[in-house]
A and B are shown apart, each in its own frame.
Chain A
Amino acid sequence: MGMRCAAQICYKAPMQIVAVSTLVVLLAACGGANSVKSGSDKKPGEWNDSSIFYPKARHQERALHSLDEALTNKEAKTIAITNATIMTAAGTSIDKGTILLEGGSIVALGTELTIPEGARVIDGSNRFVTPGIIDTHSHIGVYSSPSTEAGSDGNEAVAPTTAQAQAAYGYWAQDPQITRARAGGITTALILPGSANLIGGRGYTTIMRPGGLASDNIFPGAPMTLKMACGENPKRVYGEKGGPQTRMGLYAAFRAAYQQAAEYNVALAKYDRDYAAWRDKKAKHDKDGSGEAESAPDRPTRDLALETLAAVLRGEVLVQVHCYRADDIRQIVEVSDEFGFHIRSFHHAIEAYKVRDMLVEHGISISTWTEWWGFKMEAMDGIPENAALMTDAGGRAIVHSDSALDIQHLNQEAAKGMYAGRAAGIAISEDQALRWITANPAWALGIDSVTGTLEKGKRADVVLWSGHPFSVYSQADVVIQGGVVGYERERGRVPTDFELGNSAIDSAN
């Protein structure tokens, strides 16, 4: 509540000094001031009243909380899944094992566990347990079903760079795709703006569950992400809208955007210095009357787009770049080196296998498909061994969906990639392939310290499968998110609001 009321007012009149005192009062009244963090690496106090001028939207504010919040959940019941094959994605597999979930996290796993009284016991005989599946690339909620113009909220395709846009604000949590993805074992996903724009805006790391606002469903403590896109899509969209029309234009625009961001950072730093000097002078003046009373230095105007990019340059953002061709991948890395920021994951990365050593050297992951290829020029050289080759080179591969259909079978996409790799003589273990859809995407989203593997102390994001998760016939039987059962196949999916009253599906699924 507090932050939203503060934010609304601040946006209206950020620079009017007369408003400041009013704002401070309002902030205090809303109780938001203390919970606001600058999100920068500035020491506390250095920003002074900047929390008034640089407030955070509620979902951003929640994102600044500690990741530890993801590990406790008051709604979580005690659950034990017994006698199952537990594939941990942490290098081990436990036969006939039990996993115990309590208070929202994994409290124990092994073969001889004492199950606390009152726990819900799920017999996992002949079934398999994996970590919750995580997708690094989804447009669920921002391109919802049914596909209508009214529900098209993922591409702010009015300008090539819209770093001020945020997927969270476009997210519709009643999208019927959400419950279907979760029934496929997805517990968490990165919802991204589309790839029409070079810089599409901030992503949104969501717990995959229906209802509420983005700010209710944000993965607690998940770091900020940014979506960028190179290649054909922005060319196609802006080619006839005033450009950029060519890759020349694209790279010029990337560089111009980051140059501006660098200058924004310089201006902020200068303001900090000037402010500190003024404050010292003023303190001295107030104390002993020395010098002249000066007015405070002018504060730089807040720019929501540059603020995002400036944060990228300060290393506070996990950058996700849609890129297909090997040369585009390398050139984007060159641009990032030029401006001194790091890319967390190349998405789609159809030709990543051609430049995998460079990606490994730079510590950049790839989020790719297994069998998608050939639907456009820059996808022509896609091969099913992409993830396996990247893994073989010591890199971090992720199998992503970019599809509200394939997100429901991400386990199968990983399986196909593993088997394709093996057929090519690349020894990919089941654990490694499982990491493509669990631990590695968790890393790309910066939440791997709390989720993505089944280990004691981690968040209770767990899937129980009817059979081996790499079989085409297996189904997710139970999907648990932070210790809460989100889906049980026996009970079927809960219809979203949209589906209610369509009597056939309301009862059929």
Chain B
Amino acid sequence: MIPSSTRIRIPMFRLSVIASTMVVGLGISAGTASAQSIAIEGATLRTPDGDTENITIIVSKGKVSAMGAGLAVPAGATRIDGKGKVVTAGLVATNSKLGLVEINAVDDTNEGQFGAEHPVHAAFQVIDGYNPNSIVIDVARNGGITSTISIPDGGLIAGQSAWMSMGEGSVESNTVKAGAAMQIQLGRRSGRVADGSRGLAVQKLRSLFADARDYAKNKAAYNKGQTRKYGASHLDLEALQLVLDGKLPVVVAVDRKSDIATALRLAKEFKLRMILQGATEAWMLADELAAAKVAVIVNPKQNLPESFDEVNVVDDAATRLYKAGVDIIIAPTEDASSVRTLRQLAGLAVGHGLPWTAALAAITTVPAKVFGVDRGNLRVGAAADLVLWTGDPLELSSRASLVMVGGVVQSMVNHQTRLLERYRKRGGARP
């Protein structure tokens, strides 16, 4: 038996003709244009604020137009039976390489991974190298993920991440926020850019920020070549204005407690809106981080003292930070190919004491709040990014049975389902 979700992938433009053959037997076609409204009926809505049973969600023009128990379904709407299922907002993969890395070990398919030689890429924008047709995106989406905050990395200032929607379509149609945050690395991770010194890396950063301020005041002189030499190009210095004006948050990848303290000093000195990533020892400064309203991106699976920056690693860092009042985001730290395990990571955190609702928030509403994006929140007026699950979305026994991005039901056919289809029958295809 071949599940319907493994049927042949059909180009979008043909979907209207053969739509009924697609998507999980729900009577709705993948990629159906949003002119027609869709009603999801009878599912249990789960949000960080609580559950609502037997909810009806009406989607039209890409947005949630109405939501509630026992709503009337507009005439002509496509009806999706959600009975016995759970519906949540689409999940957000923060700190991801989706759309940037296809095959990690194939150099040509790696985008935005910078080395130490040219450590400053403040003007770099992920969207210029983002590939929305990546097969890795398709696989991650089947894990219920509808948004990615795709990041560049390496060097000192790697560049600007982007909040991308994961619907089928173009870079333009999927760009939610082209500049989501400026990616910076400190501590051990910055060592290679500054003679192996983390202190020197901080000094470089200070010098760059000073250059950016000086540049802003002396643009005319700069254009005539009458300023001192700056440590970065004019485009990079322009991009840093956004950071210094507080318009663009910085995500600082850092692990050691003392380096986190340094990052906090920097943030205070330059009035940066800071988010920490990795942040293995952040739990030791939980109260300070809560007071400074610094959110932390964590991977609950990472419990090894993998470096001397991480000797004070604990199993339940997410819980400790959450209890101290820190906004936590749960995100993977491995390859793009493993992004689909996001909900399992949230489940692992629950296993170590994080309230279930906080775990769901950490992969939906918190990233939305922290990066200032109107996603991850299933409410009237919001973009219809949602997932219908066969059960508890964090539990291994559940799977996404329908994924909707911007009101469009996504095909669940991908490289892997096609392979399964080809090799499902024994003695069938010849490899």
Q: B residues within 8 A CB of A376?
A: 103-106
A295 at the A/B interface (Cβ < 8 Å)? Answer: no
Q: Is the C-beta of A177 less than 8 angstroms from some C-beta in chain B?
A: yes
Per-position binary interface string of chain B over residues 301-313, scored 1 when its CB falls under 8 Å from any chain A CB and 0 otherwise? 1111111101111
Task: Tell whether A251 is near chain B: CB-to-CB under 8 Å.
Answer: no
State which of A145, A409, A423, A504 has its C-beta within 8 Å of the C-beta of B304. Answer: A145
Among B1, B344, B351, the residue within 8 A (CB) of A475 is B351
Across the interface, do B314 and A508 meet the contact criterion of CB distance under 8 Å? yes
CB–CB A405/B424 < 8 A: no
Which residues in A have their C-beta under 8 angstroms from that of B311?
Answer: 146, 499, 502, 505
Q: Which residues of A contact B136 (CB under 8 A)?
A: 374
| Inter-chain contact A354/B304, CB cutoff 8 Å | no
Q: Contacts A327-B431, A375-B105, A508-B312; is A419 near B396 (CB within 8 Å)?
A: yes
Cβ of B221 < 8 Å from any Cβ of A? no
Decide yes or no whether B315 CB sits under 8 A from chain A: yes
Q: Mark A389-430, 1 if CB is under 8 A from B, else 0.
A: 100110000000000110011001001100100011100000
Chain A hits for B431, CB < 8 A: 326-327, 351, 354-355
Chain B residues within an 8 Å CB radius of A377: 103, 105-106
Give the residues in chain A near B420, CB-CB below 8 Å: 383, 385, 424
Which of B1, B106, B315, B351 makes the CB contact (< 8 A) with A474? B351
Q: Name the contact of A472 in the complex, choosing from B6, B281, B394 (C-beta under 8 A).
A: B394
The verdict on A22 contacting chain B, using a C-beta distance below 8 Å, is no
Contact across chains for A371 and B347 when beta carbons are under 8 A apart: no
Shortest CB-to-CB span from B355 to chain A, Å, is: 12
Main secondary structure of the interface of B (DSSP, over half): loop
Q: A409-B348, A504-B284 are in contact. Are A373 and B396 (CB under 8 A)?
A: no
Contact yes or no, B337 A374, CB < 8 A:
yes
A415 to B104, CA, bound (A): 26
**Once bound together, how far apart are the Cα atoms of A264 and B74, in whole Å?**
82
> Measured between alpha carbons, how far is A374 from B104 in the docked complex, in Å?
7
A-contacting residues, B345-363, CB 8 Å: 347-348, 350-351
1/0 contact trace for B323-340 toward A, CB 8 Å?
000000000000111101
Residues of A within 8 A of B351 (CB): 472-475
Interface size in chain A (residues, C-beta < 8 A): 56
Contact in complex: B306, A147 (CB < 8 Å)? yes
Q: Are A405 and B350 in contact (CB under 8 A)?
A: no
- Binary contact track A111-145/B, C-beta < 8 Å → 1, others 0: 00000000000000000000000000000000001
Is the pair B396, A412 in contact by a Cβ cutoff of 8 Å?
Answer: yes
A171 within 8 A of B: no
| Least Cβ–Cβ distance between B180 and chain A, in angstroms | 24
Are B315 and A425 touching (Cβ within 8 A)? no
Decide if A404 touches B426 in the complex (CB within 8 Å): no
- Contacting pair B312 A470 (CB below 8 A): no
Name the residue on B nearest A327 (C-beta): B431
Contact call A180/B312, Cβ cutoff below 8 A: no
Q: How far is the CA of A356 from the CA of B427 in the complex (A)?
A: 9
List of A residues within 8 angstroms of B72 by Cβ = none
Contact status B396-A470, CB under 8 Å: yes
Question: Which of these, B102, B313, B341, contacts A505 with CB under 8 Å?
Answer: B313
Judge whether B335 and A374 touch: CB under 8 Å: yes
**Which chain B residues lie closer than 8 Å to A254 at the CB level?**
none
Are B395 and A232 touching (Cβ within 8 A)? no
Q: Is the CB of B350 within 8 A of A472?
A: yes
In the complex, the answer to whether A176 meets B304 with C-beta atoms within 8 Å is yes
- Count A-B pairs with CB separation below 8 Å: 135
A354–B399 touching, CB < 8 Å: no
Q: Which residue of A lies closest to B317 (CB)?
A: A508
Scan B392-418; emit 1 where CB is below 8 A from any A CB, else 0.
001111010000000000000001100
- Asked whether A509 is an interface residue with its Cβ less than 8 Å from the other chain, the reply is yes
Q: Once the chains are docked, how many angstroms separate the CA of A385 from the CA of B399?
A: 14
A89 to B351, CA, bound (A): 24
Given contacts A372-B338, A383-B416, A504-B284, contact A473 B313 (CB under 8 A): no
Q: Which residues of B contact A326 (CB under 8 A)?
A: 431
Q: Is the CB of B314 within 8 A of A145?
A: no
Instruction: Please tell me if B70 contacts chain A, counting CB pairs below 8 Å.
Output: no
Knowing A351-B431, A356-B426, say if A408 contacts B105 (CB, 8 Å). no
Task: Please tell me if the beta carbons of B103 and A375 are within 8 angstroms of each other in the complex.
Answer: yes
Could you tell me if B306 and A145 are in contact, using CB atoms closer than 8 angstroms? yes
Task: Find out whether the CB atom of A371 lies under 8 angstroms from the CB atom of B341.
Answer: yes
Known contacts A383-B420, A416-B396; A509/B315 CB under 8 A:
yes
Among A357, A408, A508, the residue within 8 A (CB) of B427 is A357
Chain A residue contacts of B103, Cβ below 8 A? 374-377, 380
Query: Chain A contacts of B106 at CB under 8 A?
Result: 376-377
Residues in chain A near residue B341, CB distance under 8 A: 371
A331, CB-defined interface residue at 8 Å: no
Q: What separation, in Å, do the CA atoms of A470 and B395 have in the docked complex?
A: 9
A142 to chain B, nearest CB (A): 15
Partner of B396, one of A327, A425, A471, A475: A471
- B424, A424: Cβ atoms under 8 Å? yes
B350 touches A473 (CB 8 A): yes
B residues 274-332 in Cβ contact with A at 8 Å? 281, 284, 301-308, 310-315
List chain B residues, Cβ under 8 A from A416: 344, 396
* Contact A408 to B423, CB < 8 A, known contacts A377-B105, A502-B311: no
Q: Mark A357-383, 1 if CB is under 8 A from B, else 0.
A: 100000000000001111111011111
Q: Which residues of B contact A393 (CB under 8 A)?
A: 426
Contact of A415 among B308, B340, B397 (CB under 8 A): B397
**Bound-complex Cα distance A74 to B363 (A):** 49
Quick check: A472 and B395 within 8 Å, CB to CB?
yes
Question: Is B305 a contact partner of A176 (Cβ separation < 8 A)?
Answer: yes
Shortest A470–chain B CB gap in Å is 6
Given contact pairs A145-B305, A502-B311, A505-B314, a sample of 15 additional A-B residue pairs in the complex whose CB atoms are under 8 Å apart: A145-B304, A145-B306, A232-B105, A326-B431, A374-B103, A374-B335, A376-B104, A405-B304, A408-B301, A412-B344, A415-B397, A419-B397, A471-B395, A471-B396, A472-B351
Could you list 7 A-B pairs, sorted by A, with CB under 8 Å?
A: A145-B304, A146-B308, A147-B306, A374-B104, A374-B139, A405-B301, A405-B304
Q: Which residues of A line the B interface, CB within 8 A? A: 145-147, 176-177, 180, 232, 326-327, 351, 353-357, 371-377, 379-385, 389, 392-393, 404-405, 408-409, 412, 415-416, 419, 423-425, 470-475, 498-499, 502, 504-505, 508-509
For the complex of A and B, the 5 pairs showing the least CB-CB separation, nearest first, are: A472-B347, A376-B105, A374-B337, A354-B431, A504-B312
